[in-house]
Structures are given as structure tokens and as C-alpha cells.
Amino acid sequence: MPQPLSATIRTVLAMLLTTALAQAQPASDPHLLFEGKCLTCHGHAGPFARDHLLLGDTGLTTSKGIPLRDFLSRHMSGLPDKDIAALHTLFRQNLTSGALFERNCRFCHDRARNFARLNLILRDDRLVGRYSGRDVAQFLPGHGRLGPADARAMLEVLRSLAQTLD
């Protein structure tokens, strides 16, 4: 009779499978790319970007002033240009959103990417509730203490996330 796998072996196998699946995904979902290559050392992308990257006149840089594209081309044996571009977009969005999701939405909802994946879909170029069909652009103003400007910014964040999940 075969022996059941120990918890440690199951955990290691799950981590290997998750990493392999994330790395096999196209770079169109920068979150999967980050989770597959960076999560173990750097945690989640949003807090990482806000804590360690700067957005200035010359673009994204590390906290030490190194252009992000240059750094990523060498970090951990370097990343391909398409992956660098995907991560650059992800980090820029995290820095320009001002942690809007964390400030206004995280209290009730999971991480933005998970929320978008489970609850939203693009239909006829409109972001709507996956199950309710509710138009998100109309729903957001006033929801979760979002004013009109924040609602527009949150719509763009959620739309961007939904597009990478199609």
C-alpha cells in the first residue's frame, strides 16, 4: 500500500507546480510573472513597488537610483525584455494608484487582482460585475468612500487587471 505524502513533500510539490505554472504563463499577466519569479523574496508587487521603487522624471528607478529596466536586465541572471516591460507597467500602476485599493477597498475585498479575477469581466468594452452584470463605472462613485476622481482611478486599475485576465 503506498504511503501518503508528508505535508512537507506536498508543500514543496505545490510550490514547484505553482512556480512552473506561473512561469509558463505569457507575460500578459504581470502579476503571475511577479508571483512566479519574485514573490518568494519580495512579497506582493504593490507593497514591494511602493516600498522599494521611485517614479520620477526619468521613469522608474530602484531606491538607489538605478533605472529599473537596467536593474531587471541583470537581477537574478536578468529577465527578457518582454518580462521587464510587463513588470515596469505593473510597478508604474502600483505607484501611480497611490495604494487606492489598499486604502479604500481592502477592508472588505481581497487583493485587487484576486477581486478582479473572481468578480469582474469586460463585456462590450465595459467593466461589469461577473455575476451581477452591474456597470462598475456607475457603481464605484460613492462605494467604499470613493469620490469621483478616485472612482475613475479605481476603474482604470480594475479594468487593467480584468484585461490581463482575459
Domain boundary among 62, 96, 130: 96
Domain interval for residue 51: 8-96
Q: What percent of the chain has pLDDT over 70?
A: 83
- Largest Cα–Cα distance of the chain, in whole Å? 65
Q: What percent of the chain has pLDDT over 90?
A: 55
- Do 104 and 91 lie in a common domain? no
Is pLDDT above 70 for 42?
Answer: yes
- Do 47 and 73 lie in a common domain? yes
Domain boundary among 46, 70, 96: 96
Q: What pLDDT is stored for residue 15 in this prediction?
A: 59
Beta bridge partners of 123: 126
Packing angle between helix 81-96 and helix 45-52, nearest 10 degrees? Answer: 80
**Long-range contacts formed by 41-49: CB under 8 A, 24+ apart:** 44/111, 45/90, 45/91, 45/94, 46/94, 46/99, 46/101, 46/102, 46/111, 46/112, 49/90, 49/91, 49/94, 49/95
- Do 75 and 131 lie in a common domain? no
- Domains in the chain, number: 2
Over residues 92-142, the pLDDT tens digits come to: 988 888 788 888 998 899 888 889 989 999 999 999 999 999 999 999 999
Of 16 and 138, more confident: 138
- Do 63 and 17 lie in a common domain? yes
Beta bridge partners of 135: 128
- Do 76 and 20 lie in a common domain? yes
Task: Indicate whether 72 belongs to any domain.
Answer: yes
The residue type found at 164 is T
Over residues 84-97, the pLDDT tens digits come to: 999 998 899 888 88
Torsion sign across C-alpha atoms 85, 89, 91, 95: positive
Residue whose C-alpha is closest to residue 93's, from 70, 75, 74, 116: 116
Task: Indicate whether 79 belongs to any domain.
Answer: yes
Contacts of 140 (CB under 8 A, 6+ apart): 146, 151, 154, 155
Question: In terms of pTM, does the model score above 0.75?
Answer: no
Domain boundary among 74, 96, 118: 96
If residue 61 lies in a helix (H) or strand (E), which one and from where to where? Answer: strand 59-62
Q: How many residues are given for the chain?
A: 166
